[in-house]
Structure 1
Amino acid sequence: MNATQTKIEKSARIADIVLKIARILGWIVIACMILLLGAAAVIYGIAGPELFSDVLASENATILSAGGESVLTVGMIPGLIALFSIVSFVYMGLFMAILIIAGRIFSGIRKTLLPFTEENAQHLKTIAVLIAVISVVPAFIEAIGEAIIGFSMDMFYFSIEGLVLAFVVYSLAHIFEYGLNLQEQADETL
């Protein structure tokens, strides 16, 4: 094993370990989210809408208003909690998928010492698509939230930074494919 291969193996091993730790932390966060959601459901199930009656006088009392117009009422809280939970689980699911796929890339590099493989290029393309999805999820979630509970924050937010990052990662996938072609040509000449 030459010096370059040693560096590749060492870097891939470190990245693999860091990604495994990140995945473990991600699963812990998901477990905590499930426990908190379950606890909130139990508390709301036991207390019901009366849970908020100490703060507000009626079910239709305004929690948040803008320009004298009611924006958020107590009756919207269960829907908002459900919407927030869905958003959180979607983000964590996509983020965990990225961590798992990135882990496969570095695990494969560590085992084969070959960064330029067709699998790695495909993994990078998949990561790029997941990043792009994460970048547009807020806009879709807001549209769904407005349709379901009638609450809109008028954000319709797309992450330009995320879309640029997705483009960069997708471009790196093509660089990996080109590196694979060069590697195959070099192997054929030997």
Structure 2
Amino acid sequence: MRLSAQRGPRTPLGRLNDAPAEDAAAALLTCCGSERWARLLAGHRPYPDADTLLAAAEEAGYDLTDTDVSEALAAESAHHPLTEGPGALAAHTALRAAHAAYESRFGYAFVICLDALPPAERLDAVLEAIRFRLAHRPEEERAVAAEELRRLALARLRALVAGSGLTRRSPSVPD
């Protein structure tokens, strides 16, 4: 007897639950670049529903070691294209400069979860957040970046199990 429609093999969660461990971990790595995080979540399948998966992901996110955070931040840096979406060219130029200043100061890509903001507000929010966070001490910013990684992982995981498609950078970089 099925407890939830989410468990069926034709749903994204059902496919994640039924996938070989290696494939499930690879899919989860698109949400968070920590191998240990992805393997941990893949190893605890099947999940009866999306809420259970999200709760497990959140808990695993708080258990990230400094090495795990470094690995996830490196994955963000490796997949950190600056898009030329709508908005003024000057704003995108400012965004590139702000990202470069941030990476120069902290040694990893700027991460921020923007899933609560409409696309039209994302560029300004990123610019404002980078400027604010550039003033942080490195250890303070590392904690903020780790929290943003957790938020991004959950947002990406929600998109993955909702079947709405998943892009590596959504919803963290302005459109």
TM-score by length of 1: 0.29
TM-score by length of 2: 0.31
More helix, by proportion: 1
Please tell me whether Structure 1 or Structure 2 has the larger radius of gyration of its CA atoms. 1
Bigger RCO of structures 1 and 2 (CA < 8 A, at least 6 apart): 2
